[in-house]
Structure 1
């Protein structure tokens, strides 16, 4: 009976030509998104590679004799472009990808300016992930909302029941058939365009790339299957096709439109984030007066001066074999770094509290779950941005410390304006290298959302079987 019902569904699909139209529509939309991102990826790769080479050569050829002056000259570091970020851009358009490195200033990531033509970004840019997260579920719901109600309106339901096809068998056969069709379409689209990303990049596929691609396919298959089961479930309990259509559209609007907008607003209202100006003002005050307000900069410098004099067993600055000015400057850098890290951690804790609202809501909303999982696997979520920001700031602090220490202990003395560093010293400072989060770290951070997404499947199947008796009475 199960095979007979599945064959009936297949013949019905072939008669109304919905399947070929849906496959073509999905491939076209994914193709449009793919065409938009592939050119952008190659352009960004070339631009950032050229910028990295330019600034590195500029630094290595620096002729500044004073290392601290070189620290003021500074350099730039760039966030590397991941290939899967072309699939799901996540927060990349908001978080920026360039950081300036210089003395006495802790710069944040520089974001590109928002042009008038880019105002559509507030609604989300068309990416392959966006197509699968927003538009593909809409097609699924349109395909499934009438799968059971049409049997009632056409009069075939009574005939099927009389021939021994129980409601549970009928609903399960429709679910199995639609799951097969939907996941075949999804697999076709992903297997066409995901490998194409690596072809246009012109680089070999790593084991990490393959693992993350496989995880993306599995997660999107689960996500699509949830909408199939929900669509058939609504069709089973609705009185007619119109009511079923209204309900599934309401579900899509609630899950994919309203909740993604409401949860960040709720998070901001519960855990308001201070303005950048207010945070910067507190940082500057803490650097000047001490993080607890009881250690002014002048007293810290006076104490350090006495410690250095005692260390070298001298009574005046002129007798020191090192450059006290550079030592004091590096001490100020270390203290400013400690203050900045303290306030950055406070800001990060507030952002994570805000994100937790969305994270908990994702347990009830598969769209929020797949959006977070997809960004994490593609390396474009908040955790990856925070991890890169920490690595960039650590490199900046090490970079400035090396320059100040060279001035302090490399042979110069306090107020000696004639001393100059060997220009070859600048080429010894290592270039910035970034190691992103591992896949294991990503999966661990997304464990709650992965579990909630997986639990939707058995929950939907159990609920579908529970309503089978109610569906029979219609």
Structure 2
């Protein structure tokens, strides 16, 4: 342990004695600071906007005058997707996913108004977030620190001296890795401390256990990621005769890991599991709806039979004699059928997207960058699964709203013909308050862990492989 400590301390000290390394570290530290500030401002501005318009939507709903409940069902509601307090750390797909969805009877709309839709083309190059700096730039710094960790000793002739003094290959490699990890943690630890403070502030200093577990897992995942990168850097340096060759190899690995493979896996997923266009998707739903009939058309064969069955059940010969409003009853049936069709098609589409994303998950076993990227987005609730969950909760709210309005029509609107004593074809506006406001509830961290088991396992596999390679590689390095 004493030898490991000496080697690691010497590596750490040498790194900061190098002016180029020191300047690069300072620049990277400033980049992390700027990214943290951008994430903080991004969260505050966007969340404030969503809460503002969410309040406006609620007030507009409550201020509607007395009217027919089915008209209120078609008036609809606007649901907004909340931002998780940890999303300032990793933007994920936040800027490309819509932020609001219009909910109305008999129809499922798409989520609209993404940040990308209102920005210029620069967004395609990525946003500067803390996660982006930690995933892309810190490994680059680690590779710059580690490319000559062993090869430089070999070139200078000091490697033989170290080995002759009783230092084993395992001690040398492990000490170098620990020293490089120490340098990377010199940047990582201040960022984590700042992240904890900002996260607590964004949570109004009311920290939940679920969010705390998310943050602990996030910190642990990035720590493992940096250890993996440090181990790769030292191993590549150990297996190369010259520092120049080691640096070239590491830069090629960095480009392949962070640029080439992510795009290739995405392209393969889309090619193998092509998704329908929006027009094709809408047309398929319309076709299935047409087969089931139109609840607004009294002459529709399906609903004509439905009407006959209802009249037979209640032993009456016309809908005016039913003990409830038939119009609301048939609208509820139509809503049930149409919602089932929409949910079936949406579920099939989500399965296609999951299949496409499965290539990126599987590629995590060959690329630690993809593993940490997927896990980071999931823990900060800025991933595709969280986005799908928002759609599902919004659809459940839309269905409940439509059926609640249908139930009000069934109970409050009379069936009597014009000219007879009847209730007005509208109900009191006080009933609108019975419909609760939409509130998205983030899934617990246990749900995230269950969905990211493969990603977490791939990161742990990389860690195990690197540790094992450091332990047994001395057998082959001796021959170089």
Normalised TM-score (structure 1): 0.94
- Partners in 1 of 2:364 and 2:4 — Cα distance? 34
Residue in structure 2 matched with residue 383 of structure 1 by the alignment: 385
Instruction: Please list the CA deviations of residues 51-84 of structure 1 after superposition, one character each: whole Å capped at 9, or x if unmatched.
Output: 1211111111211421111112112111111111
Change (3 A) 1:82 1:297: farther
Deviation at 1:230, TM superposition (A): 0.2
**Is contact 1:87-1:128 (8 Å) kept?**
yes
Q: Which residue of the other structure, out of 153, 159, 162, is the alignment partner of 1:151?
A: 153
Secondary structure (helix, strand or coil) at the match of 1:94 reads coil
- Partners in 2 of 1:414 and 1:24 — Cα distance? 80
Greater shift after overlay, 408-417 or 272-281?
408-417
**Is contact 2:155-2:241 (8 Å) kept?**
no
**Is contact 1:182-1:225 (8 Å) kept?**
no
1:66-81 to structure 2, matched below 5 A, reads 66-81=68-83
- Partners in 2 of 1:420 and 1:116 — Cα distance? 40
Change (3 A) 1:26 1:297: farther
Deviation at 1:381, TM superposition (A): 0.9
**Is contact 1:256-1:367 (8 Å) kept?**
yes
Instruction: Please list the CA deviations of residues 338-377 of structure 1 after superposition, one character each: whole Å capped at 9, or x if unmatched.
Output: 1101101111111111111111111111111111100110
Q: How many residues are treated as equivalent by the alignment?
A: 470
- Partners in 2 of 1:441 and 1:64 — Cα distance? 43
Q: Which residue of the other structure, out of 334, 338, 346, is the alignment partner of 2:348?
A: 346
1:279-318 to structure 2, matched below 5 A, reads 279-290=281-292, 298-318=300-320
Instruction: Please list the CA deviations of residues 225-253 of structure 1 after superposition, one character each: whole Å capped at 9, or x if unmatched.
Output: 10000000000001211110111011111
Instruction: Please list the CA deviations of residues 150-173 of structure 1 after superposition, one character each: whole Å capped at 9, or x if unmatched.
Output: 101112112212222232221121
Residue in structure 1 matched with residue 132 of structure 2 by the alignment: 130
Residue in structure 1 matched with residue 465 of structure 2 by the alignment: 459
Deviation at 1:7, TM superposition (A): 4.1
- Partners in 2 of 1:245 and 1:118 — Cα distance? 36
**Is contact 2:154-2:241 (8 Å) kept?**
no
Change (3 A) 1:402 1:257: same
User: 5+ residue gaps in structure 2?
Assistant: none
Greater shift after overlay, 191-200 or 213-222?
191-200
**Is contact 2:15-2:145 (8 Å) kept?**
no
**Is contact 2:95-2:115 (8 Å) kept?**
no
Over the residues paired in the alignment, what is the CA RMSD in angstroms? 2.1
Residue in structure 2 matched with residue 166 of structure 1 by the alignment: 168
- Partners in 2 of 1:209 and 1:56 — Cα distance? 28
Residue in structure 1 matched with residue 437 of structure 2 by the alignment: 431
Residue in structure 2 matched with residue 240 of structure 1 by the alignment: 242
- Partners in 1 of 2:288 and 2:112 — Cα distance? 24
**Is contact 2:73-2:405 (8 Å) kept?**
yes
Secondary structure (helix, strand or coil) at the match of 2:65 reads coil
Residue in structure 2 matched with residue 222 of structure 1 by the alignment: 224
- Partners in 1 of 2:93 and 2:191 — Cα distance? 24
- Partners in 1 of 2:416 and 2:223 — Cα distance? 67
Residue in structure 1 matched with residue 271 of structure 2 by the alignment: 269
Residue in structure 2 matched with residue 335 of structure 1 by the alignment: 337
Instruction: Please list the CA deviations of residues 414-451 of structure 1 after superposition, one character each: whole Å capped at 9, or x if unmatched.
Output: 66694321211111111112221110110111111111
1:248-259 to structure 2, matched below 5 A, reads 248-259=250-261
User: 5+ residue gaps in structure 1?
Assistant: none
**Is contact 2:10-2:179 (8 Å) kept?**
no
Q: In the alignment, is residue 29 of structure 1 matched against residue 31 of structure 2? A: yes
- Partners in 2 of 1:23 and 1:252 — Cα distance? 18
Deviation at 1:332, TM superposition (A): 1.5
**Is contact 2:136-2:258 (8 Å) kept?**
yes
**Is contact 2:266-2:360 (8 Å) kept?**
yes
Deviation at 1:115, TM superposition (A): 5.6
Q: Which residue of the other structure, out of 448, 452, 474, is the alignment partner of 1:468?
A: 474
Change (3 A) 1:415 1:385: farther
Residue in structure 2 matched with residue 442 of structure 1 by the alignment: 448
Instruction: Please list the CA deviations of residues 15-35 of structure 1 after superposition, one character each: whole Å capped at 9, or x if unmatched.
Output: 324664454233211111122
- Partners in 2 of 1:194 and 1:20 — Cα distance? 26
Normalised TM-score (structure 2): 0.93
**Is contact 2:327-2:410 (8 Å) kept?**
yes
Deviation at 1:297, TM superposition (A): 8.8
Change (3 A) 1:44 1:297: farther
Residue in structure 2 matched with residue 323 of structure 1 by the alignment: 325
Greater shift after overlay, 60-69 or 196-205?
196-205
